[in-house]
Structure 1
Amino acid sequence: MSETNENVVNEAPVYPRLNEPAPEFTAPTTHGQKSLSDYRGKWLVLFSHPADFTPVCTTEFVAFARRAKDFAELNTELLGLSIDSNFSHIAWVRNIREKLGVEIPFPIIADLKMEVAKKYGMIHPAAADTSAVRATFIIDPEGILRAMVYYPMTNGRSIDEILRLVKALQTTDKYGVATPEGWQPGDKVIVPPPATIDEAEERMKMENAEVTDWYFVKKDIA
């Protein structure tokens, strides 16, 4: 490989991947300096937005703020990010409180140099050269990236869906199961598929379960 080609490879962006350690960071926020390690032992929802003082982002921040207690009940912290200054963040938070009567209780990273945004693949040049797209990352208490969702700059994300996904991931970890489309707490969960023919035969005889076929079994959890 030529030196030129090596440089091209080295400059290629590296994006975070599921079930691997989330990229480490230390950054200034509206609540002081924060690092990923500060959240060890808790779940973390790290989410970016294109810019302060924009209407779609404002609706998202208001929704996150209104569900903050629900996330807290799941041992889950919220952490926002945009490529704006701390002064801009503070002014925007104050504006939301004044105009909409909503207090933003979570920190917002000021990522002027785009250091965190680049580590997490939040910069998509085709969308905007200087703004982070609407990216959401769910990181577990061990610092492992468990889920990531990207939205376009023009459309707001569903905060209820993010909350639902945290509940689903925690249920998966606790019971060793999967969850079907649209799963909500109290719904049946999916038993992981069998790995052998003998297990498949046993699965067809499974009691106290909804057995559709050897690979498709649902059950209630305690």
Structure 2
Amino acid sequence: MALPIGAEAPDFEAETTEGKIKFHDWIGNSWALLFSHPKDFTPVCTTELGAVARLKPEFDKRGVKLIGLSVDPVDRHAKWAEDIRETQGAAPNYPMIGDTDLHVSKLYDMLPASASGDVATRTAADNQTVRNVFVIGPDKKIKLVLVYPMSTGRNFQEILRAIDSIQLSAKHSVSTPADWKPGEDVIISGSVSDEQAKKTWPAGWKAPKPYIRIVPAPK
């Protein structure tokens, strides 16, 4: 079973390119984005790690810490970073976990508990399910899980959009409709009664159906 939304993100200790961390302590009171890779020196992942490095200021604005994971050792991550800088214009400016014993990959249900073998001989295909994105809140609960095939590069603009929605919903009793972008109208959450909603939105709301109550996005 994959880790569900709302579950506590498993804590762990791991070696990273920025030293040893204890995951929950590393998150602290921030949000976190953990994204994983099946192998170093793979083409799609090379583009993704560069894309995230370029977007780091956007994640910083949202109070989101970034951390990558690959099953190869940390010293290989450092060598890979040189290729990423050369080909993508930016090297990882966030820690990369070396998951050489597959511990974190198994802990996060990206690999079966029975997975084994020397990471040096395991191929990207062996680890192809290590292609997840986890957004984790300051409460250490999982807020979003995305799983991509090896052939499909991740859309980090969409991940930023989803984080904007999740953070807005965490502060206000609202949900966001399909294809929502920051600043657009939102929907009053179904858990809020009309009587409760009148206190927050005294001017009322648009309701094409009684269960769809549309209001401007909170500032």
Shift, 1:195, TM fit: 7.1
Moved beyond 4 Å, runs of 4+: none
The residue matched to 2:8 in structure 1 has which SS? coil
Aligned: 1:47 with 2:35: yes
Aligned: 1:212 with 2:208: yes
In 1, distance between residues paired with 2:22 and 2:50? 24
CA shift in 2, pair 1:132/1:81, >3 Å:
farther
Aligned: 1:16 with 2:6: no
Look up the match of 2:137. 140
Look up the match of 1:67. 55
Look up the match of 1:34. 21
In 2, distance between residues paired with 1:194 and 1:55? 44
In 1, distance between residues paired with 2:129 and 2:70? 6
Unaligned 5+ residue runs, structure 1? Answer: 1-13
* CA offsets 1:68-99 (integer angstroms, 9 cap, x no match): 11001100011000110111100001222234
Q: Is the 8 A contact 2:40 2:76 kept in 1?
A: yes
Larger Rg: 1
The residue matched to 1:34 in structure 2 has which SS? strand
In 1, distance between residues paired with 2:186 and 2:23? 31
Aligned: 1:94 with 2:90: no
Q: Is the 8 A contact 1:56 1:154 kept in 2?
A: yes
Look up the match of 1:172. 169
The residue matched to 1:28 in structure 2 has which SS? strand
In 2, distance between residues paired with 1:53 and 1:207? 56
* CA offsets 1:33-87 (integer angstroms, 9 cap, x no match): 1222211200000000121111110111111111111001100011000110111
Q: Normalization by structure 1: what TM-score?
A: 0.84
Shift, 1:131, TM fit: 4.7
The residue matched to 2:174 in structure 1 has which SS? coil
Shift, 1:194, TM fit: 6.0
In 1, distance between residues paired with 2:17 and 2:191? 49
Unaligned 5+ residue runs, structure 2? Answer: 116-123
Q: Is the 8 A contact 2:47 2:84 kept in 1?
A: no
CA shift in 2, pair 1:105/1:128, >3 Å:
same
Look up the match of 2:121. none
CA shift in 2, pair 1:159/1:23, >3 Å:
same
CA shift in 2, pair 1:195/1:99, >3 Å:
closer
